[in-house]
Amino acid sequence: MGIEYQNYSFRGGLLMMFGNVIFWSILGLYLDQVIPSQFGVSKSWNFCCKSSKKKTDKDDTRHLLADNEHPDEDPRNFEAVADALKKQEKSNDCLKVRGLVKTFGQKRAVDGTNLTMYNGQIFALLGHNGAGKTTTLSMLSGLLEPTAG
């Protein structure tokens, strides 16, 4: 390790290479988040300096429904939720989506979707072509940013 050649040591060369790997890795990970790509949602240039808490506007949350409150829905169209699943809702062991909206210009692809996915249950999203299934799953997986919800 103490080998020197024209005032450069082997240890110094290794430290420089290690520093380059760290620097270019961090720069690559940062640019991967910032530069828009075909998949995913690009972040702003200063995303690492911002708070990770999402700010919710009162107008965005006003239209969300409280648990078990569905005024527009006919209760005859839905199966009753079992007590074990209600316990999951109370303990927040399930995934709740309320008021999910995605618009592309004037076209509304997903319009106020409400759904609850329970732990240990099979979930299926069914609908005709153009119903918004792929857009909904893309928003839930983070490939698209939702307009609201």
Domain boundaries in the chain? Answer: 1-51, 54-149
**What are the tens digits of pLDDT across the range 87-115?**
888 888 888 888 889 888 888 888 888 88
Exposed/middle/buried for 43, CB within 10 Å: 0-12, 13-18, 19+?
middle
Q: Is the confidence at residue 63, as pLDDT, over 70?
A: no
37-45: average pLDDT: 79
Residue type, 58: K
**Which pTM value belongs to this model?**
0.55
68 sits in the region (left: phi over 0; alpha: psi -120 to 50; else beta) called left
pLDDT at 132: 85
Distance CA 46, CA 54 (A): 15
